[in-house]
A and B are shown apart, each in its own frame.
Chain A
Amino acid sequence: MSQPEHRPELVVDGYPRRRPRWIELTTSADHKDVGRVMIGAAFGFFFIALVELLLMRLQLAVPENTVLTPVTFNRLLSLYGATAIFLFAIPLALGFFYYLAPLQAGARGTALPRVGQIGLWLYLAGATVLYSGYLFTPSEAGVNPLAPLSELAFLPNNGVDAWAAACGLATLGFVLLSVNLTATLHGLRAPGMAWRRLPVFAWAAGICSWLMLFIGPVMLAAITMLLIDRNFDGIFFADGSGGAPLLWSHLSWIFFTGAYMLILIFALGAIAEIVPVFSGRRLQGRRVVIGSLAAIAAIGTLAWMQNMLTSPIGIGWMYYAMLLSLALIVPFGLVFFNLISTMIGGALQMRAPLLFALGAISSISIGLAAEIEHSMVAVAWRLHNTTDATAATHFALIGGAVFGGFAALHYWFPKMTGRTMGETMARISFWTMGLGMLVAFVPLFVAGTDHGEVADAYKFFSGTGVSTLNLIATIGAFVLAIGILLTLVNAIFSRTGGPRAGHDQWGGDSLEWLALSPPEPHNFDVLPDVRSERPLRDIREAIAHRYRAVEPEQAARESQPVA
């Protein structure tokens, strides 16, 4: 085989002209651009979810309030649930994974960039569909639109269709992003970057991608069935004629429980990067932490029936769900143990990322401990769907997605933008948020356990003993929102106005700190041969060693008289 001979030809005249930044960003399939758009969009939708939450809390500030009509409340509730889960928490986690995992694995790009790009745009299309529901009628079926309430007979307008199409598009996007992440982590790791040397956050990315590859299709199947039921006279979830309303409960809870675990694994993965760096120590029990995260994904998702303990399912299944839920104490406990024992004996630098990471650990621990009660079968018969459940879920998921997400944001912001976020603002925001969390959700624990206030209701009645508690909770929600807004504003202003950051702002040990801040499109000019789980520390030590070896030589040479 012979190549036709070509004469050398000048094909490039200068650098290619760069198009405007927004065109570059929206047409790019680069994992960093996709990741940035996802993170930005997720925080944008977070703001919207927050507004919806505050409106609902306003309605629940006083008994028998009439600020919102029942229908409006149910619409806000449904939008809030879909926005917080499908448009904020999951894409935030995936956005950070998508940006950082390839860098941490030492990849120069991703394996299937266009697949990931489609994933991003499906997610944004889903968001557009959900909010264009405002043009007609949003869903009224609640956070998890349980069949048969979500069937055509009971909600005949297009709201549930918009919900289903939106969440379906977004979920399909998450699955495609996960396909690319999995392929990249399996195929494009740097030389020497064995699985056992992969940073914990990249492991979390791998675990969550695999998890999404399992739970995503389950949700897509359920949504497809719901759309067939509603639009083509299907009977999947219809009672009678062979349908089963509980089928939707099972399928949707598999997804939602898996997503719950995904968000927590994301947060714990990020915290496991942050805590060692700011403690000046290596992560204790690295393998145990990674194994625990994988166990959380598997066991946690299999415990989906923990949400169905009042359903007509056999007592054996209830005990099975309880066994798996309580088994989660072990992996979660081991992760907490190793994170804290990393700090014990370290020299802690109390910077913003660590502060938010500690807040996340604390908040997640409270939420998960409260969830223990909800997995104890007889207690669930008392506490199911009370505000106690709302509070437990919010402690765990706000701990994961918001405190954990903000920890990740403060930690990797310098890498993504080349600037550092304001430290004072971060501190004010953190303490406001911490106060807001406690004031907003502790009263709901009390209202749920002591007074049995039910969740999702558009009003509560006076004389049921929960009026003061709800008023306090509303005030707390506003405090929490102020704290959150401070960080969002801080991020916006720090993008262009923050102090400039170097390529290795915090003295991290993983490969993303080798790249420039922000990284070049090809990520790395040179890749080191990875020899341990802390490649950057190896490089720093090699330089120090070399310096120690070379310096005396040079000093000797310089002190020689010039001939």
Chain B
Amino acid sequence: MGPNSPGTDQIDTLLWIGFFAAAILIVAINGALIYAVRRYRGGRGSRASEAATGRRSQLRVGAALTAFAAVVFVLSVVYTDRARETPATGPAGLASARSAPLTISATGQQWLWRYEYPNEAFSYYKLVVPVDTTVELDLVSTDVIHTWNVPALAGKRDAVPGKTNHVVFRADEEGTFEGDAATLSGQAYAPMRTAVEVVSPAEYRAFLAKQKADIHAAQDRVVGLIEKGEVP
């Protein structure tokens, strides 16, 4: 799961920082615990000392912990802010997305994602985006809370009914990236997956045109059938 979008780079880095912060605390606490048990296991005649930990060592430990927490907090804010930055569309990207991100609406519904593109074409399950282009997904839901989750491209975000949430990413390589939904949404939660297919801008435009034409053809066929009285 290598980073394929500028934001996920920052998330990766921060994940490592978090991992080391956690590891330091785990090793310190458990190491001290093991040391205490090995060194002070009472045999016959061993006596406990009555020496007390003074106020100064309490203050010192408290200050050290505060400093540790503060450093983790500051680093988290720095990297989170970087991860939130909207990346600019690159030279290989869609020309029309230079000034404003390419906005696609993603609707969570039990148990399939529906994507609506700017030219009114739509697709289910699979999202097609151009490479090197800033894409903004507007997450909405028509029923329960769903979480849009393609870890290779962006962080998770919830689609909550009545609200619009946003995911911004820029895929740097062509390819297909998969993800599972990440909030229990009912019976078919586990198979509610999605895939993002990153293609060249030309292929993207071709996909949009074909998708739109196919949708219209299908609609015309259905309308034609209804008009002929053959309700499908």
**A-to-B contact residues, CB < 8 Å:** 70-71, 74, 77, 140-142, 146, 148-149, 153-155, 239-240, 243-246, 279-282, 284-285, 288, 310-312, 315, 318-319, 322-323, 326-327, 329-330, 333-334, 336-338, 340-341, 343-350, 358, 361-362, 365-366, 368-370, 372-373, 376-379, 381-386, 449-452, 454-460
Contacts and interface: CB of A to CB of B under 8 A. Distances in A.
B26 A369 contact: yes
B189 A140 contact: no
17 contacts: A148-B143, A148-B161, A149-B186, A239-B162, A245-B162, A311-B158, A334-B62, A334-B65, A338-B53, A345-B48, A347-B48, A362-B30, A369-B23, A376-B14, A378-B80, A381-B157, A452-B149
B190 interface: yes
Interface in B43-92: 46-53, 57-58, 61-62, 65-66, 68-69, 72-73, 76-77, 79-80, 83-84
Contact of A385 (B46, B143, B147): B147
**Which of B35, B181, B184 has the most chain A CB within a 10 Å cutoff?**
B184
Q: In which size bucket is the chain B interface? A: 35 or more
Contacts of A340: 29, 32-33, 36
Interface in B113-148: 143-145, 147
Nearest to B53: A284
A384 B53 contact: no
Given A245-B161, A334-B61, A70 B188 contact: yes
B69 A382 contact: no
B9 to A, nearest CB: 11
For the complex of A and B, the 10 pairs showing the least CB-CB separation, nearest first, are A381-B155, A347-B42, A239-B161, A280-B48, A373-B18, A369-B22, A239-B162, A457-B190, A343-B36, A333-B65
A311 B141 CA distance: 12
A454 B161 contact: no
Given A245-B161, A327-B69, A458-B189, A385 B29 contact: no
B211 interface: no
B42 A348 contact: yes
B80 A376 contact: yes
B61 A284 contact: no
Given A284-B52, A310-B158, A345 B40 contact: yes
B29 A365 contact: yes
B145 A70 contact: no
Given A70-B188, A365-B30, A381-B83, A346 B42 contact: yes
Given A327-B69, A384-B147, A452-B179, 7 more contacts: A140-B186, A284-B52, A343-B40, A345-B49, A376-B17, A379-B14, A385-B147
B58 A288 contact: yes
A368 B30 CA distance: 13
A154 B186 contact: yes
Contacts of B65: 329-330, 333-334
A465 to B, nearest CB: 9
B215 interface: no
B201 interface: no
A460 B47 CA distance: 55
Contacts of B163: 246, 312
A547 B41 CA distance: 31
Nearest to B82: A378
A377 B161 CA distance: 22
A366 B28 CA distance: 11
A378 B42 contact: no
A148 B149 CA distance: 20
A288 B182 CA distance: 40
Nearest to A458: B190
A348 B41 contact: yes
A179 to B, nearest CB: 34
A142 B190 CA distance: 13
B37 interface: yes
B76 A377 contact: yes
Contacts of B29: 336, 340, 361-362, 365, 369
Contacts of A450: 1
B209 interface: no
Given A326-B69, A336-B29, A142 B184 contact: yes
A17 to B, nearest CB: 49
Contacts of B186: 74, 140, 149, 154-155
Contacts of B213: none
B50 A326 contact: no
Interface string B161-172: 111110000000
Contacts of B77: 319, 322, 377
Contact of B183 (A70, A318, A366, A385): A385
B190 A460 contact: yes
Nearest to A371: B22
Contacts of A154: 110, 143-144, 186
A315 B84 contact: yes
**Which of A311, A319, A327, A449 has the most chain B CB within a 10 Å cutoff?**
A311
B73 to A, nearest CB: 5
A26 to B, nearest CB: 38
A153 B161 CA distance: 13
B22 A370 contact: yes
Nearest to B180: A454
Given A365-B26, A373-B19, A358 B48 contact: no
Nearest to A330: B65
Given A70-B187, A378-B76, A385 B156 contact: yes
A267 to B, nearest CB: 15
**Which of B19, B23, B69 has the most chain A CB within a 10 Å cutoff?**
B69
Nearest to B32: A340
Contact of A280 (B11, B17, B47): B47
A318 B165 CA distance: 14
Contacts of B181: 454
A310 B147 contact: yes
Contact of B51 (A246, A345, A349, A373): A345
B160 A365 contact: no
A305 to B, nearest CB: 13
A397 B218 CA distance: 54
Contact of A457 (B15, B50, B179, B189): B189
Contacts of B36: 340, 343-344, 348
Given A348-B42, A373-B22, A148 B144 contact: yes
B69 A312 contact: no
A378 B39 contact: no
Contact of A326 (B1, B49, B73, B160): B73
A456 B15 contact: no
B21 interface: yes
A244 B182 contact: no
B103 interface: no
Contact of A372 (B72, B80, B179): B72
Contacts of A376: 14, 17-18, 72, 76, 80
Interface string B186-227: 111111000000000000000000000000000000000000
B187 A74 contact: yes
A76 to B, nearest CB: 13
Nearest to A146: B145
